[in-house]
Structure 1
Amino acid sequence: MPIESPLFLLAFDHRSGLVRGMLRGQETRAGELLPDAKQVIYEGVRSAGAGRIAGSAGAEPAGERSWQPGVLVDEQYGGSVVGPAKAAGLATAVAIEASGQDEFELEYGDDAAAHIEALAPTYAKVLVRYNPGGDASANARQCERLAEVSRMVAATSSELLFELLVPPTTAQLDSVHGDRDRYDAELRPQLTIDTIAAFQAAGVEAPLWKLEGFETVEQAEAVARQGGAPCIVLGRNAPQERVEHWLSVAAAAEGWEGFAIGRSIWWGAISGYLHDGLPRDVAVEQIAAQYAQAIDVYLAAEQRAAV
């Protein structure tokens, strides 16, 4: 399916963290509650994206910027939305990493390619945590594994979406006196460039990067140049003001083409739906409104940058 730019993915591929953080003593009911919750989130995306599906007749009012809505889900709890999302014209991405692991592992091991082909999403997504100053052996293993995964995904009908987190080492955090914001602003941009370069040297080819946000356009563009492929910004469950800043920076930067953000958009509505009697249609409306707001922030910043 052709993908228009920018691409706006609503990410709800969370698994182990969602079970722990959302179900509040009902963990044994995860297989019952979470697929329904993820259907609600999908309905929010579908509602906000109705009439905006790239390529559909009359989708865009004259003079307005086209954009591509989409979903990032997991197979375990969210696999049932992939088919309907594809049929509705949304971009689809499916997580293929094992959940909750510090070091990358494939969710289905040697059967991963078959699982990708069965769902046939637009993108097969990997989540990788890597810091060039971290454990050298672990870093080498991850580079080798991800090169193999890159080749595996390239042989399927999907493309690789590489989600990269660069958490600080203790020494790096100490160097900025424990200030995570200073780490993000002062150290993480170059560490991200170095990390991408390490994976590229190992043979990873990523048609799309999903990366943490940056403080300045110059930082974001430097990272995108190293990536050599479109980048989309993730939210990292940061406060709304910070997420909106990252969106605005990405929208103004060359090489950045949208976002993939999640919990800040749907967590409150899903918590209300599962625990507090929030009606399903209201939860859908709240998610649609939050998703649309993030899109508006991005498009407004893009328009300002173009002036």
Structure 2
Amino acid sequence: MRLGYDRPLYVLPFDHRASFETGLFGFKPPLTREQAAMVAAMKRVVYDGFRRALDVGVPAEAAGILVDEEFGAGILRDARERGVVTCVPVERSGREEFAFEYGDRWKDHVAAVAPTFVKALVRYNPEGDKAMNRRQAARLRVLSDHCHGTGVRFMFELLVPATPAQSDRQHGDAGLYDRDERPALMAGAIKELQQAGVEPDIWKIEGLDRRADCEMLVATARRDGRDEVGCIVLGRGSDEAGILAWLRAAAPVPGFLGFAVGRTSFWAALVGLRDNTLTREEAVVQIADRYLEWVRTFTGARGESGHGCQ
């Protein structure tokens, strides 16, 4: 049975693992205890930015965090105690094909952190590797059934990278692929996964430039009686202008509940802190301001006041 989700949902994701370990610090796994503590400390900075945004007006019932258990177990406990929506990834980081983090023990880890949502990031192109798609769908069916059998909500982060043939059709222009091919491919991926028994409560999808495409994706996600299923916009590391355009396109469409924008919210602030060009407090404020900007943009595009954001 699908649980569904129909409330506003403004997620600050910082479940990135390789991006923090290698991209931010240049560490090579396995990390030493000191290196792991440095990564965890940076994630705490992001969380403090999130909490600051709540203090100045983002409603706790609409706000959420997405962070990994490895470096954010304490953050997840604190957020859960505060009544904040918590999301935890279950995919192994940096893999082209979906596989469970913690292998056969993934269910025990989900039970231990007791999140509102489990999140699976999946690269799935319906015109891509058919055998890989079938393998992924089978694993994701297990995840979907487990979530709905235990009362944990399921968030599916769908990425549809271009195949070589699709890229060639657009002469290697990623922007043209995103505009002219990706929307229909996303709809095709959603249909195939639904037919395989994969039933997310939330589809976390790459931003779309056109409102008509947003409407089409919601209609696909909600087809055949799935009226309670929602969609949110992911950031994909885009620049500020790109994020704002995606939020404005999606926000007026019923069924789009919010967003999950990560690196664009915190990366510059963490680099500044790492390089000693920002203090910790300045980094926290910068992250809070970015998160607030997304909330104000989304609610403004829906014709709302911003839920009290100052």
Output the amino acid matched with 2:98: F
Count of paired positions:
292
Q: Distance in 2 between matches of 1:249 and 1:115?
A: 37
> Normalized against structure 2, the TM-score is what?
0.90
1:79 aligns with 2:73: yes
Partner of 1:14: 16
Q: Which has the higher contact order (CA 8 A, sep 6+)?
A: 2
> Cα deviations across residues 81-105 of structure 1 (Å, max 9, x unaligned)?
0111122222110111100000000
RMSD (CA atoms): 1.9
Gaps of 5+ in 1: 56-66
Over 6 Å off, 4+ runs? none
> Normalized against structure 1, the TM-score is what?
0.90
Gaps of 5+ in 2: 223-228, 305-310
Q: Secondary structure at the match of 1:146?
A: helix
Output the amino acid matched with 1:297: T
Q: Secondary structure at the match of 1:163?
A: strand
Give 1:110 deviation, angstroms.
Answer: 1.7
Partner residue of 1:217 out of 211, 216, 228 = 211
Give 1:277 deviation, angstroms.
Answer: 5.3
Partner of 1:149: 143
Partner of 2:276: 276
Q: Distance in 1 between matches of 2:55 and 2:64?
A: 11
Partner residue of 1:177 out of 163, 166, 171 = 171
Output the amino acid matched with 1:38: K
Give 1:159 deviation, angstroms.
Answer: 0.8
Give 1:157 deviation, angstroms.
Answer: 3.8
Q: Distance in 1 between matches of 2:38 and 2:51?
A: 20
1:39-188 equivalences under 5 Å are: 39-50=44-55, 52=57, 54=59, 68-188=62-182
Identical aligned residues as a percent: 38
> Cα deviations across residues 49-69 of structure 1 (Å, max 9, x unaligned)?
1264647xxxxxxxxxxx611
The 1:174/1:276 distance shift into structure 2, 3 A limit, reads same
Q: Secondary structure at the match of 1:134?
A: coil
Partner of 1:296: 296
Q: Distance in 2 between matches of 1:280 and 1:5?
A: 33
Output the amino acid matched with 2:237: N
The 1:238/1:258 distance shift into structure 2, 3 A limit, reads same
Residues 6 and 257 of structure 2 are in contact (CA less than 8 Å); yes or no, is this contact kept in structure 1?
A: no
Q: Secondary structure at the match of 1:218?
A: helix
